[in-house]
Structure 1
């Protein structure tokens, strides 16, 4: 659905995007994560045609596109991280305004308004004024507005920022529904545990560079070997310590009473082999596991020491 090649953007001497290369398949829900100022919003604005890039190409659905073409393309819809409102409009009037901008009238306009308000569970609020809505409801209304033209690529900049857990879950459910319709979604967020639940793929960006991208489970699996292995024994004897210290896949062995922490550069089968060998040697083991792997840990490791 989308291919980004060597995308660059700079303001004077400050590089915002540095040779970004990315391929996103149709129907993927792609999470773009990174520290503040990493370039997430800039990427989304460039893709939406709201910002001109300096170098690189953007191929949408097999065709290279210019900034002007993307800006006027109904295949793309962009939801910013803030909600610009017309305070004197009601919810239905707000949606009606945008359907008219897209050229829909009469029955077709009513159909699109009602379907999208129902999708985000806002039809019951159609006669309420926009300015009286909570932030979470405004975000859902903004999302409904994005769907009027039935886009194929949906760009969401921090859609869950500042929302309570219930509102976040409601947005999440809508995104799952859209993904089932094969709409490609790119979402930027700092709420990493949320991305791990809803995204099929993620990309981590830092200082304008795409550090890593791929399927969520593949990235976490790749990181698994770097996670420390923790073993807690009923007692620790010299033979056990000697065996661990001489093991080819073990390094950074740390002993704290009956608890041992180490770097183990093996896969799950080699972990099982290590556990079996220790038990055969008579070791009493009450805990044997890797430290938990998560997107938060991966994010902190990749961007450590950066502000």
Structure 2
């Protein structure tokens, strides 16, 4: 009999539906909902104790919610945990090591735990070693690894069964700059290959570079869920700009101060900082006014808010 191939799941790969988790008097996660489509990278940020790790543990079948549900490829982490684990790779913020275990033995154990056998197990271990740059470390005891190599090994463990979805809890914590760059490149490659990734990090500049969307959580409550550009647009109705002129600073300041849409004009040498109503048409009009006044403009650009700036504006600094 001809076997009909299964249609790939068309809905969100990761979804939280009104998830709440209570520990005694503390609501670690409070009615949180969001979804991540296939092939996207979702950055999950918040202060320590905000509820990030608890949310991730619920998605990863390691914690049961007090109410609500979490889904991986449409499968409930509460009601169908075994099938969820086959589709999911979870990299915790900390993991144990074993003094007499080599890196290859460690990956082999988890390959067997995920049901890989024979040549397929050997192939996957070899692929993970190559992909994470661990081939030369295969026979080295895992407790002798540097922090960066330990993180690569943990990521390799999460990838061993070729999951469609990855949940990475603070993968860059404690890494030196080179190790962070290399880890970021690995994550970008995985996303380009179609993996769906939920990642938390305190290094917000890196998340801004690699994430399609970010969610900001504080005291268990999801405060924002948008693209970085979308968050910038919501954070304020005005825009900060800088114009650098060749001489004629006073004349440029006079032109800017005469425009009703321009405020807070300051100059630092030949650079003039000011604010204006957000919008490309308004920015173009200001540039035309400067050029019409024969001001020689060397540079004209917006001053973008960083993800750190947005995080500080959205959160209040409260902890549970």
**CA-to-aligned-CA distance 1:199-247 (integer Å, 9 cap, x gap):** 2222122222222222334434555754433456734369636623xx1
Who is 1:240 aligned against? 255
* Residue 295 (structure 2) pairs with residue 280 (structure 1): no
Deviation sequence 1:45-77 (CA, Å, 0-9, x none): 1110111112223233234x1425236621112
Q: Deviations over 1:162-197 (max 9, x none)?
A: 001111122122212222221111110011111122
Q: Distance in 1 between matches of 2:53 and 2:67?
A: 17
Counterpart in 1 of 2:201?
Answer: 189
Distance between the aligned counterparts of 2:299 and 2:81, measured in 1? 55
Q: Residues 241 and 273 of structure 2 are in contact (CA less than 8 Å); yes or no, is this contact kept in structure 1?
A: yes
Of residues 273-282 and 130-139 in structure 1, the stretch that sits farther from structure 2 once superposed is: 273-282
Q: Which runs of 5+ in 2 are unaligned?
A: 1-12
Structure 1 vs Structure 2 CA RMSD: 2.6
**Residue in 2 aligned with 1:67?**
78
SS at match of 1:301: helix
- Whole-angstrom distance in 1 between the partners of 2:238 and 2:88: 39
> Are residues 58 and 257 of structure 1, via their aligned partners in 2, closer, same or farther at CA, if it must alter by over 3 Å?
closer
The offset of 1:250, in angstroms, is: 3.9
- State the TM-score, normalizing by the size of structure 1: 0.87
1:125-168, CA deviations, whole angstroms, 9 ceiling, x for partnerless residues?
Answer: 11111111101101101111111121111111000100011111
- For residues 176 and 152 of structure 1, the distance between their equivalents in structure 2, rounded to whole angstroms, comes to 15
Aligned equivalent of 2:168: 156
Q: In the alignment, is the contact (CA less than 8 A) between 1:49 and 1:68 conserved in 2?
A: no
CA distance in 2, matches of 1:257, 1:29: 39
- Name the SS of the counterpart of 1:143 in structure 2: helix
Point out the more displaced range, 2-11 or 136-145.
2-11
Aligned counterpart, 1:13: 25
Report the secondary structure of 2:160's partner residue: coil
C-alpha separation in 2, matches of 1:138 and 1:32:
22
Determine the C-alpha separation between the residues in 1 that align with 2:88 and 2:243: 51
Hey, what does 1:299 align to over in structure 2? Answer: 311
Q: Give 5+ residue unaligned stretches, structure 1.
A: none
Paired residues for 1:1-307 under 5 Å: 1-63=13-75, 65-67=76-78, 69-70=80-81, 73-220=85-232, 222-223=234-235, 225-231=237-243, 234-236=248-250, 240=255, 243-244=258-259, 247=260, 249-251=261-263, 253-255=264-266, 261-281=273-293, 288-306=300-318
Encode CA deviations 1:57-106: one digit per residue, 9 max, x unaligned.
Answer: 3233234x142523662111211111311121011111111122122232
Q: Give the whole-Å Cα distance in 2 for the aligned partners of 1:198 and 1:213.
A: 16
CA shift in 2, pair 1:242/1:264, >3 Å: closer
Alpha-carbon distance in structure 2 between the residues aligned to 1:167 and 1:239: 49
